[in-house]
Amino acid sequence: MSQTDAEAVTTTANRTDGEAVSTTAGETVEETRPEWTSYEAGGETKLAVENLDVHYGDDHALTDVSMDIPEQSVTALIGPSGCGKSTFLRCLNRMNDRIRAANVDGTVELDGEDVYQDGVDLVELRKRVGMVFQSPNPFPKSIRENVSYGPRKHGDIDTGLLARLTGRAEPGREEALVERSLERAALWEEVRDRLDDNALGLSGGQQQRLCIARCLAVDPEVILMDEPASALDPIATSKIEDLIEDLAQDYTVVVVTHSMQQAARVSDQTAVFLTGGELVEYDDTEKIFENPESQRVEDYISGKFG
């Protein structure tokens, strides 16, 4: 399905839904459509979030969020801006720790281990839970160095002077890793001849795929993506979307997006956050977009607010 087709279909579907609602009386609708209560996603649970509350000083950014994110699938987080979806994403690899005023309560379990318990090794956590940011942020280094940055920092690859002197360097391993990661991120063909060029010379879409390759090189289990295509043009966006679907075969992908079409296209399940940092509904993507339980989600999806 091409992008425009998908968009057309979703919008029509939404519009008919929306009209259907608006024809019925507003008050009764809420009674006939109870708020969503719980959802059991299929497959093994990778991340289990339990009663997560986040405050920034006096501001409540997330209110009592609980959800299970299944393994090897794409989970989309949607909602209006300021609804806490990015905050939620940043809780999963504790990037919120960088913001000093942030106050986190509740548990986030990765394979049954709470990431917020005392003594958690953030290095280990972030190796297992990778992240791709909103705007592409490659390091001002060569493409090769960008990809091998993580493994180098973790001591898995060492091509430093000392390692070369003592014969510990394995240049072949670095080459293989760079090629594998770039290939997995669908970038290899485009950059194979200029691995030593500065990464800042790539186009926006290429930069973002490089950031994904950089993340894959650390061999994570979960990949968090914070609006990965919001700064890109439509063609680059569709490439990223294809890539996300493809990655879900091996990885657990959680993607925040402000584009409902994108969520509908790439995700297996979708969580809708609304203002106040509240998780309003979480279900299979099809269900969310075609027949949501909650009236507010219905309104949001049909474009009535948000």
Token digits of residue 251: 């990885």
Query: Tokens 């339980």 appear where?
Result: 293
144 is a site residue for other proteins (CB under 8 A)? no
Among 83, 104, 125, 264, binds other proteins (CB under 8 A): 125
Among 54, 95, 274, 301, binds other proteins (CB under 8 A): 95
Give the range of 54-62, 67-75, 148-156, 232-240 binding other proteins by CB under 8 A. Answer: 148-156
Q: How far apart, in whole angstroms, are the C-alpha atoms of residue 241 and residue 96?
A: 26
Q: Looking at beta carbons only, is 102 or 288 nearer to other proteins?
A: 102
Q: What is the DSSP letter of 89?
A: H
- Residues forming a β-bridge with 269: 75, 284
Q: Looking at beta carbons only, is 148 or 267 nearer to other proteins?
A: 148
Q: What is the dihedral of CA 265, 266, 269, 274, to 10 degrees?
A: -70
- Residues forming a β-bridge with 198: 142
Please compute, for residue 220, the number of CA atoms within 13 A of its CA located in the half-sphere on the CB side: 29
Q: Looking at beta carbons only, is 55 or 180 nearer to other proteins?
A: 180
Among 70, 79, 84, 130, binds other proteins (CB under 8 A): 130
Q: How far apart, in whole angstroms, are the C-alpha atoms of residue 63 and residue 87?
A: 11
Q: Are 56 and 102 in contact (CB under 8 A)?
A: yes
Give the range of 9-17, 22-30, 124-132, 262-270 binding other proteins by CB under 8 A. Answer: 124-132
Among 14, 86, 87, 93, binds other proteins (CB under 8 A): 93
Among 61, 110, 225, 255, binds other proteins (CB under 8 A): 110
243 is a site residue for other proteins (CB under 8 A)? no
Q: 173: buried, middle or exposed (CB in 10 Å: 19+, 13-18, 0-12)?
A: middle
* Least distance CB 159 / other proteins (angstroms): 12
Q: Looking at beta carbons only, is 85 or 296 nearer to other proteins?
A: 85
Backbone angles phi, psi at 216, to 5 degrees: -65, -30
Residues in the interface with other proteins (CB under 8 A) total 52
Q: Are 264 and 6 in contact (CB under 8 A)?
A: yes
Q: Looking at beta carbons only, is 79 or 138 nearer to other proteins?
A: 138
Give the range of 13-21, 30-38, 107-115, 234-242 binding other proteins by CB under 8 A. Answer: 107-115
* Least distance CB 216 / other proteins (angstroms): 8
Kindly identify the residues of this chain, within the stretch 27-46, that bind other proteins according to CB under 8 A: none
Kindly identify the residues of this chain, within the stretch 212-241, that bind other proteins according to CB under 8 A: 214-216, 218-219, 221
Q: What order of strands is seen across the sheet that includes strand 278-284?
A: 113-114, 102-110, 45-56, 59-70, 278-284, 269-274, 74-78, 252-256, 222-226, 129-132
Q: Are 255 and 268 in contact (CB under 8 A)?
A: no
113 is a site residue for other proteins (CB under 8 A)? yes
Kindly identify the residues of this chain, within the stretch 158-217, that bind other proteins according to CB under 8 A: 158, 160-163, 165-166, 168, 180, 184, 200, 211, 214-216
Q: How far apart, in whole angstroms, are the C-alpha atoms of residue 271 and residue 149?
A: 33
Residues that bind other proteins (CB under 8 A): 93, 95, 98, 100, 110-111, 113, 115, 117, 119-128, 130-131, 133, 135, 137-141, 149-150, 153-155, 158, 160-163, 165-166, 168, 180, 184, 200, 211, 214-216, 218-219, 221, 250
